[in-house]
C-alpha cells in the first residue's frame, strides 16, 4: 500500500508540474517591414493604319516604368521605299493640353541593323524618355522632306494607344 501512495503522489506531482506553464519574459518583436512593392508598369499598344487608305500598316508599343522611364517601339513592315531627300518620322500626341513630341526618324533595315535587326524593306522607330508620356495616346508616322523644318509633314499612318 505504501508503494501505491508514493507512486500516486509521484504521478500527481509529475502531472502538476507539467500543467504549470513556465514563466516566460515577453519581448516585443521588431515590426515586420512592409514588402517593397514593384513599380507599376503602364503598357499601351496601338494598331497603325494608313491615313490615305493604302495597304501600309504598323504597330506601336509604349510603356512607362517608374524609375526607368518611357519607351516606345513602332514597327512598319510594309512602307513604300523612300525617295531621295525624304524620311519617315514618328510622333506621339496628347490632345489636351496639346503636346506633340517627335520620336525621331524611323530607321530602315540597314540603319537599324546594329541596334535593332528588322526585315529588309521594314522600318522601326524607337524612343526613350525619362518623362512619362503615356498620356500621349496617339501615334503618327509622317513622311518628311529633309528640309530642316521640324514641323510634322504628310501623315502616313496613325493609331491610338489602348
pLDDT digit string, tens, across residues 66-91: 999 999 999 999 999 999 999 999 99
Output the average pLDDT for the chain: 84
Give the three cell numbers for residue 83: 525617295
How do residues 84-130 score in pLDDT, each as one tens digit? 999 999 999 999 999 999 999 999 988 988 877 788 889 999 999 99
pLDDT cut 90: percent of the chain above it: 66
Closest to 136 measured CA to CA, from 156, 159, 161, 104: 161
- pTM of the full structure: 0.74
Nearest Cα to 49, choosing from 152, 154, 140, 146?
140
- pLDDT category of residue 31 using cuts at 50, 70 and 90: low
Average pLDDT estimate for 10-18: 46
Amino acid at each position: 500500500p505504501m508503494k501505491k501512495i508514493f507512486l500516486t503522489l509521484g504521478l500527481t506531482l509529475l502531472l502538476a508540474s507539467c500543467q504549470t506553464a513556465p514563466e516566460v519574459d515577453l519581448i516585443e518583436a521588431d515590426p515586420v517591414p512592409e514588402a517593397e512593392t514593384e513599380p507599376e508598369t503602364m503598357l499601351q499598344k496601338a494598331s497603325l493604319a494608313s491615313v490615305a487608305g493604302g495597304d501600309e500598316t504598323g504597330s506601336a508599343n509604349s510603356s512607362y516604368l517608374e524609375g526607368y522611364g518611357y519607351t516606345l517601339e513602332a514597327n512598319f513592315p510594309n512602307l513604300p521605299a523612300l525617295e531621295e531627300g525624304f524620311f519617315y518620322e514618328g510622333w506621339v500626341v496628347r490632345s489636351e493640353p496639346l503636346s506633340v513630341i517627335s520620336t525621331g526618324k524611323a530607321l530602315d533595315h540597314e540603319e537599324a541593323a546594329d541596334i535593332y535587326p528588322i526585315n529588309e524593306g521594314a522600318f522601326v522607330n524607337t524612343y526613350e524618355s525619362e518623362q512619362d508620356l503615356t498620356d500621349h495616346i496617339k501615334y503618327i508616322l509622317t513622311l518628311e522632306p529633309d528640309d530642316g523644318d521640324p514641323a510634322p509633314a504628310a501623315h502616313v499612318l496613325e493609331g491610338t494607344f489602348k
